[in-house]
Homo-oligomer: A and B are copies of this chain.
């Protein structure tokens, strides 16, 4: 087959959580997809849109965004390659937020129609996809906790720990460093802080040798120490194999 396999990283990450049968993976491979390149900043899916396709990221970063009346935005999720970003739309039908490309992205669109078909034929595959939305929700809970009860520095640390763990699962971490091509303004939108505060807290984290963030790269000198500092418990990311 000449066309690249859109679900490669998705399968890789989900296989850490449950075994996927060969015919299930084969079924995914035969799913009709439309590849598209999205330049940074583009709105991949608009808020309130009626969706009949969902998209999976194969390269780059995307985020879910909610805009408030005063023009600010809160990013409620950051998605990495292999994430089936708006699988939620498969059930929701109408978007309650938009999805934005945070870097140049490659995404693959799948129609809800073909998803429905494949889930009917392979119910277990359906549960794997369901699981992926439920893990998204668990991540959202962790963010809520960060915003509600953690200090700014802890929130940043927690986010870094989370990305470290998630990116590890798709092989994108080398020596406790990983790429994160976000500006401080974008981090602020993610973390629900002002850009100035992000800047100051990053400085602190750097001084305390907890996190170094520069040139679009994040480095964690001591993962155990950062996890302790940020009260990060990876259980919510659900990286353990169980039959589902």
Q: Spell out A's residues near B (CB within 8 Å).
A: 48, 64, 66, 68-69, 72-74, 76-77, 88, 91-94, 96-97, 119-120, 123, 126-127, 130-131, 133-138, 140-145, 147-150, 191-192, 231, 233, 235-236, 238, 240, 242, 244
With both chains docked as a complex, state the minimum distance between the C-beta of A83 and any C-beta of chain B, in angstroms: 14
Other-chain residue from B68, B93, B192, B242 in contact with A93 (beta carbon distance below 8 A): B242
In the complex, are the beta carbons of A96 and B235 less than 8 A apart? yes
Q: A91-B130, A130-B91 are in contact. Are A149 and B72 (CB under 8 A)?
A: yes
A233 to B51, CA, bound (A): 18
With both chains docked as a complex, state the minimum distance between the C-beta of A126 and any C-beta of chain B, in angstroms: 7
Q: A88-B137, A91-B134 are in contact. Are A147 and B147 (CB under 8 A)?
A: yes
In the complex, are the beta carbons of A147 and B192 less than 8 A apart? yes
In the complex, are the beta carbons of B240 and A94 less than 8 A apart? yes
> What chain B residues lie within 8 Å of A135 (beta carbons)?
92
In the complex, are the beta carbons of A134 and B92 less than 8 A apart? yes
Q: A93-B242, A133-B133 are in contact. Are A48 and B141 (CB under 8 A)?
A: no
Residue of B nearest to A241 (CB): B93
A143 to B74, CA, bound (A): 11
> What chain B residues lie within 8 Å of A149 (beta carbons)?
66, 68, 72-74, 192
